[in-house]
Structure 1
Amino acid sequence: MNTKFGLRGCCALLGVLALVQCSQPAPAPEAAAPATNGGQAGARKYIRFTGAGNSYPGFTRVGLMMLGALKRDYPDHDTWIDFHESGRQFRDGVLRVMQGDAEIVFANPAHTPTLAYRGVAVFTKDGPQTGLRGIGKYPSDDWITFAVDPKLGITSVNEIRERKLGLKIGTAYQDGDNIMPFLLREVLRRHGISEADFTSWGGEIISTDYFKQPRGTNVRQAYSNGEINALFLESGYDANWAKNIGIRPMTFINLDPEAAKSLEAEWGWPSRYIRAGYYPGQPERVLALDFTDWALAVHERMSDEMAYKLAQLFIERYPEMEGPPEVKVGMERITAGFGGNKREFVPA
């Protein structure tokens, strides 16, 4: 696909199309994949849709809608959608597109393709994926919560270093693919906390794998049960946090603004404020890592024609992608991973 991409001006006016990282100076490119209209293996042609870090219901809803429409324009192409466990394939889903094993990736959050383009975090060993191109983003308002036991008496990450606290932090899969443990370690590092120091204080990072097997629980339940005294998780929008807080209170701790700025400058990962009062017992706003939006991305080898049709489909079907009903009222953009939402909510 030509990096100038003919829809850019049109879609910018519509406020829908958000190309990923095309304006940055390109690092050393990844190994090139063969140029095709869609995917091609022998005489067969494919349009394959893969996910990166998505919850599966939202991923399949958007994926099946897009593949169904593209099949009408490309009846000679076989269509394929992958299966993955929710919270998996942050790295592997993007690399499927880069390696020619899929044509379209739907990545959650939208910052994941930026990590790939820059070759950082889970993509460090793979190098910069400069052939990645963005089609657009479905809004999904979310953030990463860093919460601790209120009995610790801290309100910021800096205080972990100052008091040399050996926290037991629960987070997502430590499988080399999930971005959460990478972000957690990077947050600690940018606050002057090395992994060696953290361990020497008695600190431990414990993953979802540990809690799920064999006990069948999850990180928030583990906190409620007293197995850990801190957690670092996305899905901050979830109204069910109030239930967890009702069982065992939490203090949501602030990132240092300079540490947050440096992470955005180097990794392209932004931060944002959780508004005051969003959670029970949270009187002030809290600076947290962002986890918003789902990005639709392709490889530059995709033909301009197919990329144009994909962008057109994205724009025309965008209003249909409404969020589920269980999301907490009071968020600026509410979707929980299902895409754009036509409804307007007034912050509580």
Structure 2
Amino acid sequence: MGEPASKILVPGPAITRSINLKFQGDWGQANFHRIMCWLTQEFCDRCGPRSRVGIFSMRGGGSEGLSLVNDGEMHIALGTPVGLMAASQTGDAIFGGQKFPQLRALAVLPQDDRMILGIDPKHGCRTFAEIREKKPPIKLVIGPDSPDSPTGWVSHRFLEAHGITADIIRSWGGEVVDTWCRPEQCLIPIKETSSDVTAAVHEAIMTPWWINLIDGPRKFIPIPAEPEALERLHKTTLLEPATLPPGYWDSLKEEIPALSFRDFLLFCREDLPDDVAYLLTWCLVETKSMIENQYHHINPNKTPLGYPFDPVKMAKTSIPLHPAAERYYREHGYLS
């Protein structure tokens, strides 16, 4: 039935009883699932011989983990971006009054992401001001404006902060495609020169999909976010202003403002047993090299999971830490 918890290679905490947990991953092929696979192995290595963890896929836009953990269907989930997750405690922003005050954090995991608008150069627009002035009949791909899709919800707020909405685009003779949630569903089809989509708002900025759009045959133009719009977005979404440096893409010659869409929040419910929460947190920090090594072949500025993990930053969560996680960080000097 497996090795007992006492027979492990790395000294550290162990749970002698067998534990069964349910982890909420992503759709199956993205970062959440990979993170959960790493954590599952390290956790079960240190628990009783019949310990099992199930990693479940999601079907919607990415926010299911909140309600599933809140309702007790899942024990652990991930959410992104971290700034937006802070509103789960108050019901603000995307949550529309629904509060999740019983959720507790275990760690923040790094991902240096941004949200931008990219547009086909045939429209002759390089700024939001030019877009508003020229009113091009763009065909825009964007996530759904729904709390079920953090990416889609923020994308619509991003455009609104710049004075553009789906209805306004349609009034210009344009079209809005807002039925896809996942980044690759939105971005992969439009890299082809035969695609009639001429604009996209999305995150996952470090992926080959954006490289293909910006530096590939279609040569989309990344539109700089406006400072005033970023200030409004900080108030409405809790997400911070950010930038993309020159050279991020081969064709990007100067720094441009963008909206931060960074980091993953690993969370549970406040009633997760203390020894389980403590061991999970220990695994997150003490075995982090096992997941970091899977990304070392990727440029650290463009990796979908940042490295190295910094335990001090991991402890700076946007919702309260689980008491056992907080105890771990304090005991090891990562939280003052």
Normalised-by-shorter TM-score class: 0.7 to 0.9
| The 10-residue stretch of structure 1 (317-326 or 268-277) with the greater mean CA deviation from structure 2 | 317-326
Task: Show structure 1 runs of 5+ residues with no match.
Answer: 1-43, 343-348
Please tell me whether residue 219 in structure 1 is matched to residue 190 in structure 2: no
2:71 aligns to what? 99
The residue type equivalent to 1:229 in the other structure is: T
SS at match of 2:295: coil
| In 1, Cα distance between equivalents of 2:185 and 2:111 | 26
2:221 aligns to what? 251
1:136 aligns to what? 107
| In 2, Cα distance between equivalents of 1:116 and 1:336 | 24
Task: Choose from 32, 37, 40 the match for 1:59.
Answer: 32
How far 1:174 moved relative to its partner? Answer: 6.3
Task: Show structure 2 runs of 5+ residues with no match.
Answer: 1-17, 310-336
1:262-296 alpha-carbon deviations (Å, 9 max, x no partner): 22233222231111122232222121222222221
Please tell me whether residue 309 in structure 1 is matched to residue 279 in structure 2: yes
| Aligned positions, number | 288
Residues 94, 113 of structure 1: 8 Å contact kept: no
Alignment of 1:167-182 (within 5 A): 167-172=138-143, 177-182=148-153
| In 2, Cα distance between equivalents of 1:210 and 1:137 | 23
| In 2, Cα distance between equivalents of 1:141 and 1:210 | 20
| In 2, Cα distance between equivalents of 1:278 and 1:289 | 15
1:31 aligns to what? none
Please tell me whether residue 280 in structure 1 is matched to residue 254 in structure 2: no
2:175 aligns to what? 204
1:155 aligns to what? 126
1:324 aligns to what? 295
The residue type equivalent to 1:91 in the other structure is: S
Cα 1:219–1:182 change in 2 (3 A) is same
The residue type equivalent to 2:55 in the other structure is: I
**TM-score when normalising by structure 2:** 0.73
| In 1, Cα distance between equivalents of 2:61 and 2:179 | 15
Cα 1:73–1:112 change in 2 (3 A) is farther
Please tell me whether residue 340 in structure 1 is matched to residue 307 in structure 2: yes
Task: Choose from 237, 244, 247 the match for 2:206.
Answer: 237
2:197 aligns to what? 228
| In 1, Cα distance between equivalents of 2:273 and 2:185 | 46
The residue type equivalent to 2:273 in the other structure is: S
Residues 145, 152 of structure 2: 8 Å contact kept: yes
Cα 1:198–1:46 change in 2 (3 A) is same
* Identity value in percent: 24
| In 1, Cα distance between equivalents of 2:164 and 2:260 | 21
How far 1:239 moved relative to its partner? Answer: 4.1
How far 1:193 moved relative to its partner? Answer: 2.8
How far 1:175 moved relative to its partner? Answer: 6.8
Quote the RMSD (CA, aligned, Å): 3.2
